[in-house]
Amino acid sequence: MSEQRSTDEGRDQPARLLDTAGPSARVLAAFDAQTELPEGDQRSNEDRAWRRLRQQLRAEQAPAARRGSGRRWLAGAGAMIALIAAVALTAGQNRRLAQPRPPVVARQSARANPIPLDSSPRAPATAPAIAPATAPAIAATAAPLPPLVLTSEPRPLPAEPVRLDERIAVIAAAGTRAAAWIDRAGQQHVDLASGVVELIVSGGAHPVLLVHAGDYRFRDRGTVFEVGRTGPAVWLHVKSGAVGVSKAGRPLAVIRANHRWSIGVADAASDTPGRPNPSHARGPATAKAKATTTTTTTTTTTTSSPLAALDVPAPPDLSPPGPAPAVAVPAAPAPAPTTPTVRRRSLPDCRALERQARDDEAQTCLRALAEGNDLSAETALYELARVQQESLGDTAAALVTLKQQRRRFPGGALRDEAELTTIELLPNVGQYRSALDLSEAFLARHPRHERAAELHLLRANILREVFADHAAAVREYQEIDAGAGGIADDAAFFLAVSLESDGRAQEAADAYRRYLKRGTAAHAAVARARLAALAR
């Protein structure tokens, strides 16, 4: 019914409520009038706000000079990190210059499969690296990078790392031939002719970047990834986030963090050049590639159906014994000496991203941390729920995350906190009954919990306001000790209200009187009015 109405409304713009004469229009008009400030107030407020804004912007430009010692310490730490990153960057470049890329030699496989870098059963210990990660680690982005201003004309990527904009850093390995450009819609592109590029994309809405390597397209989803190309051989290594792979506009796969994808790279470095093509025996091939490496050249045929690159664990190799199939999979991470390690982010890193309003990245960061089984994983899940609720206003997602936390860590250190937060959020999505049930179970387990009074007040408010069960509300309010503070004040007042609503006038009058004797009676005026009404 509502869907039908909304469809109808989609054709014609509905009339505005303010143009009608109903009670809603009057209420809305009253609210609208209240939101308008007098012109004089507006001018003075604006003037003051402008001065404050200028001060803030100046303070941001000169942070260390105006802030406290803690912030100066943080600034110092940031500078130190930048220095370390710069050293890492330089070291990475030196390594690249000093060590020529090893020849591409890879294990042969029937299909292109993304392989998890960790604990892959298909990764023999002796498998050589297909994708020598020649680009420096992500930490290198902490160093200021020169910008490369893009136009619609492709501009060659320089040998040193550059920034395409505030969110995209590109690091090309030595000898890489690649160009970057921007289209009319603002989409940025990197055309990779040969070599290896590492791309670090952060912040904002995605995708912001497309990498073209031959027939293949790699679309970022907020991530750090490398793309390599040697002739028709193309490989992808996703270090964080996710990357969509497509060919001729047809999506092939989504490759997630710590997975690789490749196609056409096997025989480029095979030690059996010119061997028969196994694809011919299996059926028609869909793509034919001539893979070339720095050392050997051979011809082979690859299968490149969409299934060939799905981001799922690889099935057992059912191909008959014989010559190796065409498509190779990088089955193991690059050897330690040549692979720069991507620093695993910590909880403070994720919080820093959140403070910088980089919510997508903060979520990705927290999700990555939450993959473990330790306290930091549990904390990351709780933090993820907090980000979803506070920064994104997505209560439903926060509840799902909290539920996941309670399921994964049933005896966790934050279990009670997760449960309390769930109870608190449930009324926001209208699940009052669930909030009552969960809080009842919690109070049964922890009758003397430090927040038991808050829980009783929450339950009482729900019972009174939502279910109009005043007798039950009275019982809940009576559970709260008559001490000082806002909770006790509310409880004492609404106890009287509930008694009155339950038809217990004499008890209500007594309760109002007791309430008025409190030192801090926030609802005193209403209580006196009700007491007078009851006396009549």
Nearer to other proteins, 274 or 483 (CB): 483
Q: Which of 117, 125, 199, 186 has the alpha carbon at shortest distance from 157?
A: 199
Nearer to other proteins, 317 or 440 (CB): 440
Given a contact cutoff of 8 angstroms between Cβ atoms, the answer to whether 188 and 168 are in contact is yes
Cα(first)–Cα(last) distance of the chain, in Å? Answer: 49
Nearer to other proteins, 42 or 94 (CB): 42
Query: 67 — phi, psi (to 5°)?
Result: -100, 170
Tokens of 522: 């926030």
Query: 200 — phi, psi (to 5°)?
Result: -120, 110
The helix (H) or strand (E) run that includes residue 327 is strand 327-328
Shortest gap between Cβ of 344 and other proteins (angstroms)?
25
Nearer to other proteins, 215 or 416 (CB): 416
3-state SS class at 211: strand
Shortest gap between Cβ of 49 and other proteins (angstroms)?
6
Shortest gap between Cβ of 60 and other proteins (angstroms)?
8
Query: 236 — phi, psi (to 5°)?
Result: -135, 135
Shortest gap between Cβ of 90 and other proteins (angstroms)?
30
Shortest gap between Cβ of 382 and other proteins (angstroms)?
8
3-state SS class at 98: helix
Residue 214: what residue type? G
- DSSP code per residue over 157-196: PPSS-EESSSSEEEEEPTT-EEEEEE-TTS-EEEEEEEEE
Given a contact cutoff of 8 angstroms between Cβ atoms, the answer to whether 129 and 265 are in contact is no
Nearer to other proteins, 93 or 422 (CB): 422
Rg (CA), the chain: 32
Shortest gap between Cβ of 420 and other proteins (angstroms)?
8
Residue holding tokens 């408010």? 461
Nearer to other proteins, 135 or 473 (CB): 473
- DSSP code per residue over 264-283: S-SGGG-SSTT---HHHHHS
Given a contact cutoff of 8 angstroms between Cβ atoms, the answer to whether 123 and 141 are in contact is no
Please state, in angstroms and rounded to a whole number, the distance separating the CA atoms of residues 345 and 95: 24
Give the pairing of strands 300-302 and 287-289.
Answer: antiparallel
Given a contact cutoff of 8 angstroms between Cβ atoms, the answer to whether 131 and 209 are in contact is no
Nearer to other proteins, 295 or 356 (CB): 356
Please, which residues bridge with residue 29 across strands? Answer: none
Shortest gap between Cβ of 499 and other proteins (angstroms)?
13
Nearer to other proteins, 257 or 473 (CB): 473
Shortest gap between Cβ of 466 and other proteins (angstroms)?
6
Shortest gap between Cβ of 251 and other proteins (angstroms)?
21
Shortest gap between Cβ of 2 and other proteins (angstroms)?
6
* HSE value, Cβ hemisphere, 13 Å, CA-based, for 220: 32
Please state, in angstroms and rounded to a whole number, the distance separating the CA atoms of residues 256 and 114: 9
* Residues composing the chain: 536
Nearer to other proteins, 292 or 422 (CB): 422
Nearer to other proteins, 309 or 423 (CB): 423
Shortest gap between Cβ of 264 and other proteins (angstroms)?
38
Nearer to other proteins, 275 or 386 (CB): 386
